[in-house]
């Protein structure tokens, strides 16, 4: 059974940093595309990043480009989202998702991902 668990969320001041982790079990992460999404209250789920299999391509949503960095460690079955220069608009529940289908990460859309974590809250506030 595939399980995905996010961690690392919390409260941070504007301009601060957080590093989210996504631990996967029940799979060999190498063959899976990894997506990060977020959802703020009253808003639709937004694609944050997508890492293709073998880390060949990483795509970011426009709102986080230059501030967030996604990475993966297949050996540890873990993905990471380093978030720098955080803004109040980054406040949301952040989700990690994985999928085994071939995916080029040309676009980041939730419907392409089968397995989801429960989410971790990130709050950016002074």
Contact assessment for residue 90 and residue 14, using Cβ atoms and an 8 Å cutoff:
no
Distance CA 22, CA 120 (A): 10
Strands 10-12 and 3-7: unpaired
**pLDDT tens over the chain, length 126 residues:** 999 999 999 999 999 999 999 999 999 888 899 999 999 999 999 999 999 886 578 999 999 999 999 999 999 999 999 999 999 999 999 999 999 987 888 889 999 999 999 999 999 999
pLDDT number for residue 117? 98
pLDDT number for residue 54? 63
Nearest to 78 by CA among 19, 17, 126: 19
pLDDT number for residue 56? 76
Other Cβ atoms closer than 10 A to 10: 12
pLDDT number for residue 9? 97
- Reading the block at residue 70, the tokens are 């996604």
């Amino acid at each position: 059974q595939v399980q995905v668990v996010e961690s690392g969320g919390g409260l941070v001041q504007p301009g601060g940093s957080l590093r989210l982790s996504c631990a996967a079990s029940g799979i060999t992460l190498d063959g899976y595309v990894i997506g990060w999404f977020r959802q703020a209250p009253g808003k639709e789920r937004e694609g944050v990043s997508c890492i293709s299999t073998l880390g060949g391509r990483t795509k970011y949503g426009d709102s986080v480009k230059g501030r967030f960095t996604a990475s993966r460690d297949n050996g540890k079955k873990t993905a990471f989202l380093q978030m720098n220069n955080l803004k109040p608009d980054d406040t949301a529940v952040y989700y990690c998702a994985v999928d085994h289908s071939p995916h080029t990460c040309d676009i980041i859309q939730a419907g392409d991902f089968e397995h989801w974590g429960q989410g971790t809250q990130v709050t950016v506030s002074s």
